[in-house]
Structure 1
Amino acid sequence: MLLALFSDIHANRHAFAACLEAARIRGAERLILLGDFVGYGGDPEWTVDTAMGLVEAGAIAIRGNHDEAIGTPSETMNAVAQTAIEWTRGRLSTGQRRFLAELPLSIEEEDRLYVHSEASNPKRWRYVQSALDAARSMMSTPAQITFCGHIHQPALYSLSASARMTAFVPREGIPVQLLKDRQWLVVAGSVGQPRDHNPDACFLTFDTGSRDVTYLRVAYDVEAAASRIRDNGLPAFLADRLSRGR
């Protein structure tokens, strides 16, 4: 089965729509949504409605820290993120807010774990920014493969039976086989706000048969997404950063 995995959509309708279409063209049979549907972007209603529809059709969806902040304000978010969350909270319906609040923090499926941040303590929203962070996550779960997001930058980590770590940045469009004799942590890039100096939206596919993971980049109308942010009176920084991919 070919899975398509999306993380950190952040209310970017144009990026999410482009990635969904790219996944459809590639023949994705199931969708996994790794959280942060809202925050930063200008189309939270459409994004949440789309996620709700995908879940009804069989997709898996995970709660991210921005999703949680809609119902439980966060004391750790910076001022810009807080501004976007407060604006978003006023735009969402009761049903949309309930959908976000009731999403699970993680889901296990066969040999895979889906989580927004990392496995050792999903509720703390830790970032996987190093091999040490990745090892902590992998050693806290029996899952052979963990898929997560949260840092907006693609990365792959593996841990051998002898506790040897490897870490690298995957190349766009180049499949990487997740060998069964290692444990893996697959960090998805961001659909709606990439921070790896590439403005193209990022998602990945995973073939459960061949065990190949492939990172994909999708060009979309960045200026239209930025205009939605500006037109809604959100901080200009959130619009400007989209074209820089950082």
Structure 2
Amino acid sequence: MRLALFADIHANRQAFAACLEAARARGAERLICLGDIVGYGADPEWAVDTVTDLVAKGAIAVRGNHDNAIGVPGDSMNADAQAAIDWTRGRLSAEQRAFLAGLPIMREEDNRLYVHSEASDPEGWRYVRDSSDAARSMMATEQHVTFCGHIHRPGLYSLSSAAKMTSFVPTADIEVQLLTGRRWLAVLGSVGQPRDGDPAASFAMFDTVSRAITYLRVPYDVDAAATRIRVSGLPRWLADRLLIGR
């Protein structure tokens, strides 16, 4: 089965629509959303409704920290992020808020784990910044592959049976086979708020038969997404950073 995996959509309609189109063009048979459907961007209603519809059709979605903050106002965030959450909370219906609150923190499927942050403390919202963070996450699960997001930068880590760790930044459009003799942590880039210096939206395809993952970048109408943020009255930096991928 060909899976399309998306993380950190962040209410960016233009980016998510472009990624969905690209995934379907590549023959995606199942869609996985790794959290942070909302936050930062200007189209939270559309984003939640889109993911709700996908889940109803068989997609998997887990809860991210921004999704969680809609129902847990005490979550700690920087000022711009908190302003976006407060604005978003006022835009969403009770049904939409309930959908976000009802999303699981983690899901396991076959030999795969789906989580927003990482496996050792999924509700602690830790970032996978380096090999030690990745090792902590991989040691917390027996699954062959963990897929996560949260940090908005793509990365791929593996752990051998002898506890030897390797890591690298994957190249877009280059297939990587996740060998069975190792355990893997695939950190996705962000659909709606890339922070690796490339403003193009990011997602990944994974073939469950060949165990091959391909990271992909999708150009989209960044100017339109940024304009939506500005005219909505959200902090201007949330729009400006889209243009530079930071």
TM-score range, shorter chain: over 0.9
The aligned amino acid for 1:131 is S
SS of alignment partner, residue 47 of structure 2: helix
C-alpha deviation, 1:116, in angstroms: 0.1
Given that 2:160 and 2:182 are in contact with CA atoms closer than 8 Å, whether structure 1 keeps it comes out as yes
Cα shift at 1:75: 3.9
Please say if 1:93 is aligned against 2:93: yes
Partner of 1:217: 217
Q: Deviations over 1:36-70 (max 9, x none)?
A: 00000000000000000000000000000000000
Q: Does 1:52 align with 2:52?
A: yes
Q: Identity of aligned pairs, percent?
A: 69
1:61 to 2:61 alignment = yes
How far apart in 1 are the matches of 2:240 and 2:151?
19
Alignment TM-score, normalising by the size of structure 1: 0.99
Any conservation in 1 of the 2:69–2:75 contact (CA below 8 Å)?
Answer: no
The answer to whether the 8 A contact 2:9-2:36 is kept is yes
Cα deviation digits, residues 187-209 of structure 1 (max 9, x gap): 00000000000000000000001
- C-alpha displacement at 1:74, in angstroms? 3.7
**Residues 166-177 of structure 1 mapped to structure 2, 5 A cutoff:** 166-177=166-177
Distance in 2, matches of 1:148 and 1:51, equals 17
Q: Residue by residue, what CA displacement relative to the aligned partner does 1:172-226 show, whole Å, maximum 9, x if unpaired?
A: 0000000000000000000000000000000000000111000000000000000
1:151 corresponds to? 151
Q: Which residue of 2 aligns with 1:194?
A: 194
CA shift, 1:23, in A, is: 0.3
Tell me the distance in 1 between the aligned counterparts of 2:199 and 2:153. Answer: 11
- For residues 160 and 114 of structure 2, what CA distance do their matches in structure 1 show? 20
1:139 is displaced (CA, Å) by 0.2
Corresponding position of 2:206: 206
Q: Map of 1:1-246 to 2, 5 A cutoff?
A: 1-246=1-246
Segments of structure 2 that go 5 or more residues without pairing to the other structure are: none
Query: Residue type matched to 1:195 in 2?
Result: R
Q: For 2:232 and 2:49, how far apart are their aligned partners in 1?
A: 19
| 2-structure distance, mates of 1:169, 1:117 | 18
User: CA separation in 2, counterparts of 1:156 and 1:21?
Assistant: 24
- The 2-side partners of 1:54 and 1:166 are apart by 34
Partner of 1:90: helix, strand, or coil? Answer: helix
Checking the alignment, whether the CA contact within 8 Å between 2:193 and 2:242 is kept in structure 1 is: yes
Structure 1 residues 75 and 54, CA gap change in structure 2 (3 angstroms): closer
Q: Which stretch of the first structure deviates more once superposed, 59-68 or 72-81?
A: 72-81
The amino acid of 2:83's aligned partner reads T
Query: Deviation at 1:76?
Result: 2.1
**Aligned equivalents of 1:74 and 1:145: distance in 2?**
32
- Alignment partner of 2:4: what SS? strand
- Corresponding pairs, count: 246
- Where 1:123 maps in the other structure, the secondary structure is coil
In the aligned structure 1, how far is the partner of 2:165 from the partner of 2:140?
15
Give the Cα–Cα distance (whole angstroms) in 1 for the partners of residues 78 and 163 of structure 2.
36
Query: Which stretches in structure 1 are left out of the alignment for 5+ residues?
Result: none
Distance 1:142 1:161 in 2: 12
* Cα displacement (A) at 1:73: 1.5
Evaluate the alpha carbon distance shift between residue 214 and residue 74 of structure 1 in structure 2; reply closer, same or farther with a 3 A threshold.
farther
Q: Deviations over 1:82-104 (max 9, x none)?
A: 00000000000000000000000
- Is the 8 Å Cα contact of residues 158 and 167 (structure 2) preserved in structure 1? yes
